[in-house]
Structure 1
Amino acid sequence: MDPSDIENTDDWLGCPTPLETCRHQLALYENEFEELNLQLRQARERIFKLVEMHTAASAERETLRTQLAAAKSEAVDASRRANDIETKSTWELMAKTKHISELVTKLEAATGINVRTGQPIR
């Protein structure tokens, strides 16, 4: 047996040749490349869906902000009207109380009887 044949394992049964090894490694790389392309495509689809969801959420947020601003404006207007009504009714009540007080004074002066007690005024 030639000593150079000891290192030559190309003809051993079950040992792949360098070309077969390269082809096998190439097939592994191709499979990995296809898998990565699939994952990339799926990731892009998910990103696209997320962008669509973000756009929809942003539009809804803007709609809600507009509605909130309108509701705040209406609340301020209603508060102002309520305050005006309360002020007006307080003034009217005070005016009526004053008028009643004046009428009571005139009645007591005319009749000489205390309206609250029913007793004669001295």
Structure 2
Amino acid sequence: MKHKLDRFGFILNMDSHGNVHEHDEPEPIRTFAAQKRVDVRTRKWNVMLFGTGSNSTKTSNRKFMGSLHHRKLKSRLRKGVPDTQRAAVWCRLAGVAEKIKTHPGTYKRLVQQS
């Protein structure tokens, strides 16, 4: 029997003992209001991540990681990161770009070792 996964990769049709069961429930369909909420959040995350205007990268870094917007960032994280921005948000929070600059070639080396 095949695993049924949700959009986050969690197995839906497995009980607490590891037994896989038939899963015949349809995927929930987003309502118009729910989709609109996701669209609004997506636009807000885009502004926070990428900024607006000609100085967008400097502005967005300050907006994203700056102490003035710390409460806003925490609030948005608690409300949920839209699927389309999840990778970019977590890479920014983890400081991936800075780590790549300070440790060039590390990722490639680790991939080759695995």
Instruction: Give the TM-score band, short-chain normalised.
Output: under 0.3
Structure with greater helix percent: 1
Structure (1 or 2) with the larger CA radius of gyration: 1
- The normalised TM-score by structure 1 is 0.21
- The normalised TM-score by structure 2 is 0.22
**Which one scores higher on RCO, CA 8 angstroms, separation ≥ 6?**
2
